[in-house]
Chains A and B, each alone.
Chain A
Amino acid sequence: MNASTQTMPLLATKFYIPSPHANVVARPHLLARLDEGLRLGRRLTLIAAPAGYGKTTLVSEWVNQGIGESTEQRSVAWLTLDEGDSDPARFWSYLLSSLRTAMAIELDIPDALQLPKGHQMINLMTELINLIGSETENLLLVLDDYHLVTAQPVHDALAFLLDHQPPNLHLVIAARADPPLPLARLRARGQLMELRQADLCFTPEEAAAFLNQRMGLNLAAADVAALDRRTEGWIAGLHMAALALQGISAERDASAFIAAFTGAHRYILDYLLEEVLNRESQPVQAFLLQTAILDRLCAPLCDAVVESGTDSQTILEYLERANLFVVPLDGRREWYRYHRLFSDLLQQRLHKTWPDLVHSLHSRASLWYVANGDVSSAIDHALAAEDFDRAADLIEKIAESTLMHGETTTLLRWSDALPTEAICARPILCMLDAWTLLLSGRPLDVVEARLAAAEPYSERIPGQIPALRSLLAAYQVRLNDALQLARQALVELPEENVLMRSFVLWILSAYGALYRDASDVVIPLDQLARIGLDSGNVLVAVSALTQLAEAERRCGRLHKAWSLYQRALDLAVDAQGQRLPLAGQPLMGLGDLAAEWHDFEAAERYLQDSIALTEQWNEVGALEAYLALAWLKWVQQDAGVAQAMIDTARQLAIRFDVTEVDDWAVALSQARFALAQGDLATVQRWLEAQDVLSYADKSLPEVYDTQPLYRLRKYELIVLSRLLILQGKAEYALGILDRLLPVAKRQQRPSLMIEIHLLKALAYNQCGRRDQALASLAQGLTLAEPEGYTRPFVDMGAPLRLLIEDFRVWIGRQQRSEMTAPVCAYAEKLLSVLENSSPIPHEISFSAIENPKSKIQNQTSKIQNLLEPLSEREMDVLRLLDSSLSTTEMADALFVSVHTVRSHLKNIYSKLDVHSRYEAVAKAKDIGIL
């Protein structure tokens, strides 16, 4: 059960169109402009102004009185947003619900909450646009309080909607700040109707009508003008002034009040609130101040919070009638909230008037929320009450499920608000907190302190301490310790502790693979990803998928790795749709692959994102991304930045003192950079320091395959070979490369094999053995072609480019065969990349030809010919249809439920207008999308 989904009153209240209010001033000139926006076919109406300018009132008035010249029928979908809607999945499901409420037709679109997490909104939006566009019904979609949405995927989806808007849909956004949508473009194209602060201010006439007619005052024209000036037409200010004036009967007194008010410099609402409150009875005053701590009000909650026995329902209804800034959230008079401004004022006054009461108010609210099943809100109030024991008890209850959903940020926010003693006194919470801290990259000594606090209670938390110590050891690359502790934990952990068990299994699988003797406990990573998904343990699922991707990448199945990284990335989001720090791992992999495919722009973006996220989690984790960025920079001739990246990586490696592998990786990168720069002295020095010559002449025994540190030797030998070739010692290099090739083959490292073939080609060429050079090059090309490797070719620079040109001429004279055709084509492609290399203009970047992402784009452009395009996910399913997999197996392959696959199938069949799997495949091939 996910705590954050327990938001009780929401569903009922969010689609509620505020009902017309008795005290509304008619604003025909504004309604006319709203009508005009529709008549002119504008796509978006934006109503942007600070709080208290009557945005919601205006739109609801417009909607309720019947839009336009009544000839046009329109259905209205209304969605009032709040802070929680920055979760894209939640936003999407509310959007659909509001549309379903409004439209007569059935919307057969998957609810994002049932789909795997990720960035599916654009696809879903495409389906929605098609559906709405195919209807004759005119629709108005109102998004109120849009400033509360901060999730980029939501903005992206709306921008997409605006770009592809069907003519029968009009969008209205009301917000306190301009939304991050392409407003300038819409403005320039005449697609935007805007009402802003200056438009929404009450004119002097409106102020007069409001004060004298609606609020029942009887003010002289001069007094009205004075109030309008003082408030600058701000409706909330005039409203508050009217409330203050309602208690004054004599005209003379009113004028005196207005004179005093307009003469004072105090902030308007401060001044007026005092007056307004003083006019209310004691119980009402107390009610207002004491309920100001609540985000939402309902009578039972208020009864529980307010001190003396008050009849909250009566007061709430009175407040609504008296216009005291309460906003009903439903039509049943059940849930309300205060106008935000008013609530701020009341809270501020509460702290001033009854500072000692604030804590007990929050405590009571917390108790009520527990009793009504909203633990998350209960925790927030308990923390606000500084009732740390209760808060800690509550957090302990839901920490496990919160952690399983990867909501480490929420957990950290809570545990940071708790005193350390409250955490340490609860071994279960203490351990969960330690996991959270470790996974969030907090300093290890804080994690150790938690472990030390839990140690005396180890019998109450069997297996948990070795489990965490195992991960700690794995982080510190003490792999033997990690595996031993993990095995111990697996024995001690109770079966029902799914969370910890899956962590331990992950450690065993991820690191145990390096050791043959651990094979008895190793679970294949794909099964582990499945376990992680099924148990809702995002952390394990993402890590397992990433590791699986790493393995595929190393073995040279780059496209498979790409889709696994993507899948991991899609999963690594929290409930708010924000990427988890964990997403840094798959982003690093994607950046590396994009660089391999020569899409430097995308590579840089992925790597930068990876660094930003990884550094929140565990700073040293970003080291690899810095090195990958350095490579990108030096091949783009930006040596200064490249060196800075390497230096940053070196600092990280030095600071992270538990292993030497990272220092070595930085040094290797530095040596390769020096090679590219022609700084051979530096390379020589490094090789000498590594004592490379001592083993360069020997063949590498199999022990080099298994011992981590020995495995690194082969990369040193590559650097040595390159240096030798540059120094004209090609024969020597060839000897080393010939000994190295079987090692690369044995260890299944295609990228290394390509590099060896290319170096051999260069070495042969130097010795004048041209045929052998071209044959080696052909081998490199053959290996590189299927998965689109480019990096080894880019690395070798100009000499290799010349050789490929020779190859082209040579092969032109040979007889063409099916075998050589793809290799020739690949050589052409590579030349077009290399010729324009350094710096490579992006338009002709290699990625445009080979990268799977652009493949998908090509496909989508074909799919556009379909009435309704297939989504990316449906394309995934379609590809599997052309196999022998059963529906269940397809679900497994895509990490989704059978139900979801079936729903995709239904959509695919209907979009392709076919009725069977066989027909679908045939048609898809026919129109060229398969």
Chain B
Amino acid sequence: MKEKIRVLIAKVGLDGHDRGAKVVASALRDAGFEVVYSGLHQTPEAVVRTAIQEDVDVIGISILSGAHMTVFPEVLKLMKEKGLDNVLLTGGGIIPEDDAQKLYEMGVGKLFGPGTPLKEIIEYIKEEVKKRKK
């Protein structure tokens, strides 16, 4: 019986700094998750489509370019349109606290900034996925 948690890690937009995304992807793999890595320069549409085809439980977007207030709402909108209601949208990068709060109110999950222990991310994902599976 395979009940693996599937996570999509994506970098959206033109920003190419992928150190964090790759470290998180590796850590999630080491925690037993199945991680689909999308690579650089993805568009919100491509991310959501990939999430559908791969039937992921979580979408994790890495943004360091300041474009998070455009990208996350866009992805959220597409997710709603396509009926991805049970999928957790989370991510990280350089996102000021009050923006993260606004996004949380819109329906985005917790966002993880610099210095977050990987363990915290892993635990958060496990909990959230468990909640949503009920």
Q: Tell me if chain B binds chain A.
A: no
Which residues of B does A touch, CB under 8 Å? none
